[in-house]
Amino acid sequence: MTAHNRNTVALLVAAGVVALALPAIAQRAPVAKPTGLSREVLALACNPSLVHEAPMTPLRVSGSQESFVRTTFAPGDLITINAGTDNGIEVGQEFFTRRLIPIQRRPISRDNPATIRTSGWIRVYAVDKEMSLATVTFACDSLQLNDYLEPFVVPTIPTISTDKPKPQRDNYAHVVIGNENRASFSRGDAFVVDQGSDHGITVGAQFVVYRDKREAGNFLFELGEAVAIDVRPESSTLRATLSRDAFTVGDLVALRK
């Protein structure tokens, strides 16, 4: 056998030894697969929303299956959640992973609301009595240790009318915030406004976005248009469909009605 052949055999043997050792030194989740969802649906799943008080969030991401401590996770990672069969968790269940981001670093309140950042979603892989393993299916952002869980539901793409009624001029909403406390938005971006179903807004409703330059005797400047993609009683998430200039926090939003 030549020296070259001996080296080749040695490398193949070494590779086989490493491959055989892998199951013994680490737990691995199934390979991550495409979600099969359209880009529009994925974008809807990752949209921000607004709350004025912290929701009850007992289910959490509590760890990872690695030989070292990890605090962020990506698709295909195997993570631990702090609930199992005693809590009704079953293999195959899916959950959104989310976190609260207050506008200011102080408790969430009426004058300090928080955006709900959807970091992604997971699927339960194995279940014990008090804990479960789950695989990361999709990441809007990196999932983090202590993200809370809510049942996963595939978002429905809103139906948008081709009619464009005149915008109301006497009841403006205001641009409040976006994901990760983002304050500037353009076409395709999602942002939250401070009116919701209590103010007559429904999913699919259309809006015109204005800027008040505070010039006496001048018109509002029309920045662009948006559509409601998620509606809560006191707030709505809109997606910019047309932008002549960037929308920013405080800009006015008029419902077409």
Provide the number of structural domains found in the chain. Answer: 2
Low-confidence ranges of the chain (pLDDT < 50): 3-5, 7-26
Domain match, 55 and 141 both: yes
- Has residue 157 been placed in a domain? no
pTM confidence score: 0.82
Both 177 and 100 in one domain: the answer is no
Q: How far apart are CA 72 and CA 69, in angstroms?
A: 10
Q: Considering the domain boundaries, does residue 5 fall inside one?
A: no
Give me the pLDDT at residue 67, please.
Answer: 84
Q: Which domain holds residue 240?
A: 173-255
Burial class (CB in 10 A: 0-12, 13-18, 19+), 151: exposed
Instruction: Give the whole-angstrom CA distance, residue 98 versus residue 148.
Output: 5
User: According to the model, what pLDDT value does residue 19 have?
Assistant: 35
In this structure, are 211 and 108 located in the same domain? no
Paired strand residues for 64: 79
Query: Which pLDDT does position 196 carry in this prediction?
Result: 97
Question: Is residue 74 in a domain?
Answer: yes
Q: Which residue has the tokens 């009704």?
A: 88
Residue 254 in tokens? 């008029």
Does residue 4 fall inside a structural domain? no
Same domain for 188 and 90: no
> Any idea of the CA torsion for 160, 166, 171, 173, to the nearest 10 degrees?
40
Q: What is the CATH number of the domain that holds 201?
A: 2.40.10.410
Place of tokens 């892998």: 22
Q: 98 lies in a domain?
A: yes
Any domain includes 165: no
Residue 164 covered by a domain? no
Judge whether 16 lies within some domain: no
- The residues, ordered by sequence, that sit 6+ positions from 51 with a Cβ below 8 Å of its Cβ are 100, 108, 113, 114, 116
